Amino acid sequence: MEVAQQEIITEPKKKETVEVSGSVALLEALIAEGTDTIFGYPGGAIMPIYDALYDYNDKLKHILVRHEQGGIHAGQGYARSSGRVGVVFATSGPGATNLITGLADAQIDSTPLVVITGQVFAHLLGTDAFQETDVINITTPVTKWNYQVTDATEIPEVLAKAFHIAKTGRPGPVLIDITKNAQIQKFAYEGYVPCNHIRSYRPKPIVRHTYIEQAAALINAAKKPFILWGQGIILGSAELEFKAFIEKSGIPAAWTILGAGVIPTDHELNVGMLGMHGNYGPNVLTNECDVLIAIGMRFDDRVTGRLDKYAKQAKVIHLDIDPAEIDKNVKSTVPVWGDCKETLPLLTQLVDQKKHTEWLNLFRDYEQKEIDAVIHTELNPTSGEMTMGEVINQLNILTHGEAIIVTDVGQHQMVACRYAKLNHTRSNVTSGGLGTMGFALPAAIGAKFGAPERAVVAIIGDGGFQMTIQELGTIMQSGVDVKIIILNNRFLGMVRQWQELFNQRRYSFVDIQSPDFVAVAAAYGIAGKCISDRADLPEALKQMLDNKGSFLLEVMVTKENNVFPMVPQGCSVSEIRLK
């Protein structure tokens, strides 16, 4: 008798589970995402996470900052120098609200962050409990995404989504608020699964080849094409693709401050900086080009000046990953949606190999006018007090364009961005869209942790330095090697410049007094020096760069020097002033 063969049924292998707390699940998620450094400040509502972190010292480095704003700016600096997601911890209430400026800064400058805040127990939400704030509603306008976790079982999936959203498409900050009960709660943990898709979230628009073809046709027919590039190229890791595009097309190219470093400063097709304090030629000739190609930039008002007088003669091609930026400020003739790492090679294939020699020479003619009227005197003065420009010039001689330059906000920022030599991408870390004074010192700390093999030089004004001066304590405790240059003009310089030019020199509350910065640094165990004599500058800069460990160099510069060229507010870019 035939025996029926028994059907063998194999049950799917169950995932191995282990019971862990929400805090442990959070830390495991960070490790799985490649996090190596956290910037943070503990408090009552995030204490369970810090308790769990005690056992992870061998896997996660935690940098104790002195203020939550310092922590988030450090996270920004880390992300900007490394290209990875910055991670920041803070507690509830004032800890969370102290992050708002950094979140807004990261949002407008497209910096990828995952920020974890502790929150009161879930049953206390809405009761005005001690150190409770509605952090979700407060941070909604200044984050790419935020979410409140009240159950520990959500943590692995929510963290996976957080990292995916923060780093894909147009990057930005994500905040995850975790109630204290969720941090303590234990659950059956089945491991961490990274996220690579979220329904209804499309980080990259579909590339439309018709628009690529239309853009190439406009470029090939152009007599005076001009490229404006921004940070989108850096965020898309498309530096090589961009270089191939401009070198094949032969088109002059200028940059926004966040785009600096994509190609070396001395590249033959790099014609300088755009904007209110940008270079003379790029601003004037924006209103003379026949095709304007914008790549990974958002036509900020500091770049365009008066929109009703901006590039009206030009056909505009706009390449951007964020469809919301297309036609927002400047109407495009051809919109090229997509990741520039994908769209640029497609465009490069279709453009003709050309040299626009006469057109490029026109930029050089304007450059010479600017050298004669502004640059020579600013970089090579022979008398009077030192200028900010000559400090940057001497720094270039010693760093050879190899350092990461981190700037605060003000006159020194514009001078540093104008004159610093940058040979590599991710070498310019500054607060662009928000213009946050106090950014540079903590951002430089983060930048050094993000790129430990590179020299990091923070260039800061005497006003901005005092906004986050407490982060010298972070340097002291962590031992991080950051070189700090304070360009001290004894004024809130940029505001003073505007008061001089547009308010009849009515200097209203811009004369700022400062402590002995070198003595303050010494109190934190940081070497320092103050100079006011031009002859001492080269040796002082060399001493700073050669010092093992952090060093603060205060340079006393002329009090009432103005940054030129300048496009006055309310004027066209072609109305830029040389003096």
Q: Which of 33, 68, 241, 370 is catalytic?
A: 68
Instruction: Give the residue ranges of DSSP H helices in 168-222.
Output: 180-184, 209-221
Q: CA 579 to CA 564: how far, in whole Å?
A: 6
Q: Which of 130, 190, 349, 368 is catalytic?
A: 130
Is residue 476 among the annotated active site residues? no
Cβ(184)–Cβ(123) below 8 Å: no
Q: CA 172 to CA 556: how far, in whole Å?
A: 37
Is residue 68 among the annotated active site residues? yes
Cβ(45)–Cβ(73) below 8 Å: no
Instruction: Give the residue ranges of DSSP H helices in 459-536.
Output: 462-465, 472-478, 493-502, 517-523
Q: Which of 180, 224, 243, 448 is catalytic?
A: 180
Is residue 328 among the annotated active site residues? no
Tell me which amino acid residue 1 is: M
Tell me which amino acid residue 205 is: P
Question: Residue 177 pairs with which residues in a beta bridge?
Answer: 117, 148
Q: CA 406 to CA 417: how far, in whole Å?
A: 10
Structural element, H or E, at residue 100: helix 100-108
Strand intervals (E) in 35-180: 37-40, 61-64, 86-90, 113-119, 145-149, 173-179
Closest CA to 172 of 112, 224, 246: 112
Judge if the upstream peptide bond of residue 565 is cis by omega within 30 degrees of 0: yes
C-alpha distances in Å from residue 69, one per residue of 66, 100, 296, 434, 435: 9, 8, 28, 14, 14
3-state DSSP assignment of residue 318? strand
Is residue 180 among the annotated active site residues? yes
C-alpha distances in Å from residue 81, one per residue of 112, 168, 171, 234: 12, 17, 14, 11
Within a 13 Å sphere around the CA of 448, how many CA atoms are in the beta-carbon half? Answer: 21
Sign of the dihedral defined by the CA atoms of residues 66, 68, 72, 73, in that order: negative
Strand intervals (E) in 120-224: 145-149, 173-179, 186-189
Sign of the dihedral defined by the CA atoms of residues 180, 184, 187, 193, in that order: positive
Strands 61-64 and 86-90, bridge-based pairing = unpaired
Is residue 131 among the annotated active site residues? yes
Q: CA 309 to CA 306: how far, in whole Å?
A: 6
Q: Which of 61, 121, 131, 354 is catalytic?
A: 131
Which residue do the tokens 């898309």 mark?
A: 236
Cβ(291)–Cβ(317) below 8 Å: yes
3-state DSSP assignment of residue 330? coil
Q: Which of 386, 467, 494, 544 is catalytic?
A: 494
Supply the residues annotated as catalytic: 68, 130-131, 180, 494
